[in-house]
Structure 1
Amino acid sequence: MTYTENDVLQHSSDKLGIVTRESLPLDTEPEIISLRPGTLAEYIGQPEIAETLAIAIAAAKKRKEPLDHVLFHGPPGLGKTTLAHIIANEMGGNLTVTSGPALEKGGDLIGILTHIEEGDVLFIDEIHRMPKAVEEFLYPAMEDFAVDFVFDKGVHARSHRYRLNQFCLVGATTRAGLLSAPLRDRFGILKSLDFYKQADLIQITKRSAALLDIGIDNPGAKELSRRSRGTPRIVNRLLKRVRDYAQVRGNGTITKQTVEAALALEGVDKLGITDLDRRYLKTIIHFYNGGPAGIEAISATLQEETDTLVDVVEPYLLKIGLITRTSSGRKASESAYKHLSINMTDANSQDIIQRTLF
């Protein structure tokens, strides 16, 4: 006996109820709910950057050209990767994502560049960590949309230029000063992302809560945004922890009291200061008499990576004035003493160090 495709489909649906020609809602649902906005219209905060990109994208689409190469720099979690996704969506191209440390050899980059289609977007995160030999392959790719191959060696060496499809390179870095001048100058749009205002973070909190299907009142959103260090990534991370607390210990709705109780367990205070921040400040105050202290010395005392302190801890502490950076090193400000409730005259006492540092 032979069966047609319709017979198989009908038999399967009768027996199991899972095979059908129609696309079910479950088929189109993402595996993980993304809190990342997909368009500039959905993007909240950084109004000057959003407006600049909107104009540049509209102009590029009108001319039917790829967008100028874009470089974003700023502390982690402020939306550099999100903006790269938005640029790809707005330009109607595919997004290829990689990072500077992942591109170990020139061949790694060439393999990616030769597979990019017309109008696509290449996003390189932590672009300042790209090896110099790989970086030099980017120069002709960014300027002329071509890469140069060298065959053979010595007197038999010959060069071949391979033409690439026109694309847009989006670079992201937390250390703009470590980028070489030739690479930095090849970007047409350079934008610095700053910490977000509380009003913008409140909007982000409410939008994310709606996507996560959790209720949150205005005082709760305000309190959560106040403790998020001006960073969307942190506000979304803390929101998920507060959501867990509200569903297990509360009534399923996030209030100001819920936020305070949940973040007390996380060690996040009213300024968004974490346990690592407090250890960092107390190290400067107690071990180095309030500073100045070199970052390598602080890193060795804390047994934390220097890059972690420079990229994650220091930007926010500098922003709110708890530390200052001098030519001699880092110093704790008077505000840091007050926030930690440390008496400046007793800061060097050994018994206080033992009781309060770790």
Structure 2
Amino acid sequence: MADSKSSDANSKGIVSPAASESERAAEAALRPRQLSEFVGQETVRSQLSLVLEAAVARGKTPDHVLLSGPPGLGKTTLSMIIAAEVNGSLRLTSGPAIQNPGDLAAVLSSLQENDVLFIDEIHRLARTAEEMLYLAMEDFRVDVMVGKGPGATSIPLPLPPFTVVGATTRAGLLPAPLRDRFGFTGHLEYYEEEELALIVTRNAVKLQANLEADAAHEIASRSRGTPRIANRLLRRVQDWAQVRGNGVLDLAAARAALDVFEVDRRGLDRLDRAVLEAVCVRFRGGPVGLTTLAVSVGEEPETVETVAEPYLVREGFLVRTPRGRAATRLAFDHLGLPGPAPEETLFG
């Protein structure tokens, strides 16, 4: 996210391979390695610690774990910690990457004892592969079909004990039979500003950045309750301080950098403000349909619905009605706009 163009591309899910690899490497370097280092999510962390300690004490693999919640809250990080706690290797895959039983069989057959299989977006797993996963999770075996037609034979292939960690942003889409096979389910919540400030402060040390306390809180307050965003903004503030500042990440540097990257005081970015401006100005506060709103800002409906809308609704800028999306009084105030005419209906 080096300029506004790359910011636009990222919001549409278009990231260059080099940038994507760089972002992943930077994020990996900042991830905590142990459960004791993990900040926030106190309930999930204490419950998961109990599950892992009991499994290690019994000399067995932990129960399968399902982690749900919005993107960027630490589901992948927790899977890495689980693998480290049980002295196993982490195997990463995703639901969309497994489109048939053969894909899943190839992944399962490569597992070793105590390995952790992390399946991101598990709710998007192909239904034909789910049946194989049920058997693998319960009985640690897969049935491989050899041949075709009436002469086909099913050969059972035993698997070493392993743990599945499933991650989903939409737990309601998980089939009940799959959800019931997880021994532990944890839901991750958005972080408080103090927790994000602590995360940013710790990671600044790892980045060898001279971060001041008020700058850490400024970054945290604009991070939408999400550590992934906080870490990304920290790196952008570090870039600004190195290139245009004196190397110190103070409050002035943080504000200047975040202004350059179009992240305002409430954490709204270019797309968020474009959506709000469209609803408030072009459609006089709404309601307006999702498709019409997406066309007006030059984005796909799915991008508006999954990238911008959740935060805008959570923060009280938008409401969803049977007739479409409508702006609240807070949205007009944030944009510095007068409310609609008295005869108009205004939510909030």
TM-score under structure 2 length normalisation: 0.86
1:1-358 matches, cutoff 5 A: 34-345=29-340
1:340 alignment partner AA? L
Q: Which moved more, 1:48-57 or 1:180-189?
A: 180-189
Q: Is the 8 A contact 2:73 2:226 kept in 1?
A: yes
Distance 2:66 2:342 in 1: 43
Q: 1:194 to 1:327 in 2, by over 3 A?
A: farther
Q: 1:58 to 1:327 in 2, by over 3 A?
A: farther
Q: Is the 8 A contact 2:72 2:227 kept in 1?
A: yes
Q: How many residues align?
A: 319
Distance 1:280 1:115 in 2: 46
Give the superposition deviation at 1:65. 1.4
Distance 1:37 1:277 in 2: 30
Q: Which moved more, 1:333-342 or 1:116-125?
A: 333-342
Give the superposition deviation at 1:224. 1.0
Q: Is the 8 A contact 1:75 1:311 kept in 2?
A: no
Q: Is the 8 A contact 1:286 1:347 kept in 2?
A: no
Distance 2:70 2:306 in 1: 6
Give the superposition deviation at 1:346. 5.9
Q: 1:305 to 1:81 in 2, by over 3 A?
A: farther
Residue aligning to 1:19: none
What are structure 2's unaligned runs of at least 5 residues? 1-24, 344-348
Larger Rg over CA atoms: 1
Give the superposition deviation at 1:330. 2.4
1:180 alignment partner AA? P
Distance 2:292 2:175 in 1: 28
Distance 2:342 2:130 in 1: 48
1:184-205 deviation per Cα after TM superposition (whole angstroms, max 9, x unaligned):
2211212221110011001001
Give the superposition deviation at 1:311. 2.8
Give the superposition deviation at 1:288. 3.6
Q: Is the 8 A contact 2:284 2:340 kept in 1?
A: no
Distance 2:126 2:158 in 1: 23
Q: Is the 8 A contact 1:75 1:315 kept in 2?
A: no
Q: Which secondary structure state, in structure 2, belongs to the residue aligned with residue 321 of structure 1?
A: coil
Percent identity (aligned): 47
1:278 alignment partner AA? R
Q: Which moved more, 1:174-183 or 1:64-73?
A: 174-183
Distance 2:235 2:342 in 1: 37
Give the superposition deviation at 1:82. 0.7
Give the superposition deviation at 1:347. 11
Distance 2:206 2:246 in 1: 19
What are structure 1's unaligned runs of at least 5 residues? 1-30, 349-358
1:37-67 deviation per Cα after TM superposition (whole angstroms, max 9, x unaligned):
0111111011111101100000111111111
Give the superposition deviation at 1:183. 1.5
1:303 alignment partner AA? G
Q: Which secondary structure state, in structure 1, belongs to the residue aligned with residue 40 of structure 2?
A: coil
Give the superposition deviation at 1:296. 3.2
Q: Is the 8 A contact 2:285 2:340 kept in 1?
A: no
Q: Which secondary structure state, in structure 2, belongs to the residue aligned with residue 122 of structure 1?
A: strand
Distance 1:136 1:347 in 2: 57
**Cα RMSD (Å):** 2.0
Q: 1:216 to 1:315 in 2, by over 3 A?
A: same
1:62-102 deviation per Cα after TM superposition (whole angstroms, max 9, x unaligned):
11111111111211111111111111111110000011111
Q: Is the 8 A contact 1:227 1:268 kept in 2?
A: yes
Distance 1:74 1:280 in 2: 24
Q: Which moved more, 1:251-260 or 1:126-135?
A: 126-135
Distance 1:318 1:104 in 2: 33
Q: 1:307 to 1:93 in 2, by over 3 A?
A: farther
